[in-house]
Amino acid sequence: MDDWFSKTQVDARTTMLTEPFVHDFVRANIWHFSGRDADLLVDTGMGICPLAPRIDTPDGKPLIVVATHIHLDHVGSLHEFPLRAGPRMSAATFETMDQAVTYAHMFHDLEGAVSKLPEPGWKAADYRIPPAPLTRTLDEGDVVDLGDRQFRVLHLPGHSPDSIALFDEADGLFFAGDAIYDAMLIDDLPDSDRAAYRRTMQRLLDLPIRIGHGGHGPSFDGKRMREIALAYLQRTDGI
């Protein structure tokens, strides 16, 4: 379906894609950033319709795809791309995409899973995520190098134990995944950890970002990120 993805040009180097017909609970942001020697794709959506044909990259230029964590709305189309990077701690599960770990099974019974069928006869109950073994594993301190831009990997657990983010220390550009975003933060999944999430928020208070692009919701600046982090810390104080 040609219109399954919406596409927004954020700036000269950054494009955001989303899936407007997917239930908002699993409607994630997909970020495409253009580097000199390679492009970066952060997360890959649900995988209901093919994503790769919608990503414009110059011929011969590598596309490094990074999954920020292994939940269904971030890894659905990962198998479509040859260069697949993701968190080291969940690497084994990318080889199977176990539904209990990705939470794909939750989508099967989600009321109003899609507002428009991607094709006749499509059913949420049939949804599956193909295995996508990682070609590179990422952990705290690793670097994703695009030639003219280097992104430091930050391990920021809480929403999920394997959550990572990418931070350009020279420019302040931050791809946050679900570590933090400007919407209701989810911390009650079976693999969520509020104590870890609080430590992540405390760490983010001091991160000198210029602009943050999260896994959901609108982008945010450093001031707004600190507001989100402080609000979470206040809300969970004593829990």
Instruction: Decide if 1 is inside a domain.
Output: no
pTM equals 0.97
* CA quadruple 125, 127, 51, 180: dihedral, nearest 10: 90
- CATH value at residue 99: 3.60.15.10
Distance CA 239, CA 236 (A): 5
Distance CA 5, CA 202 (A): 34
Tens of each residue's pLDDT in the chain, 239 residues: 679 999 999 999 999 999 999 999 999 999 999 999 999 999 999 999 999 999 998 878 999 999 999 999 999 999 999 999 999 999 999 999 999 999 999 999 899 999 999 999 999 999 999 999 999 999 999 999 999 999 999 999 999 999 999 999 999 999 999 999 999 999 999 999 999 999 999 999 999 999 999 999 999 999 999 999 999 999 999 77
What CA–CA distances, in Å, run from 146 to 17, 62, 195? 20, 9, 34
Instruction: Decide if 131 is inside a domain.
Output: yes
Outline where 16-168 has alpha helix (H): 72-75, 91-94, 99-102, 104-108
Distance CA 211, CA 140 (A): 20
Q: Give how many domains the chain has, as a whole number.
A: 1
For residues 227 and 234, is the Cβ–Cβ distance under 8 A?
no
Looking at residue 186, the DSSP 8-state letter turns out to be: P
Distance CA 82, CA 69 (A): 18
Distance CA 222, CA 177 (A): 16
Instruction: Decide if 206 is inside a domain.
Output: yes
Distance CA 137, CA 182 (A): 27
pLDDT number for residue 57: 87
HSE-CB for 73 with a 13 A CA cutoff:
21
Instruction: Decide if 35 is inside a domain.
Output: yes
Residue 73 DSSP SS3:
helix
Instruction: Decide if 44 is inside a domain.
Output: yes
Instruction: Decide if 93 is inside a domain.
Output: yes
Structural domain harbouring 67: 6-235
pLDDT number for residue 1: 67
- Tokens, residue 125: 């109950």
Instruction: Decide if 157 is inside a domain.
Output: yes
Cβ count near 92 (within 10 Å): 12
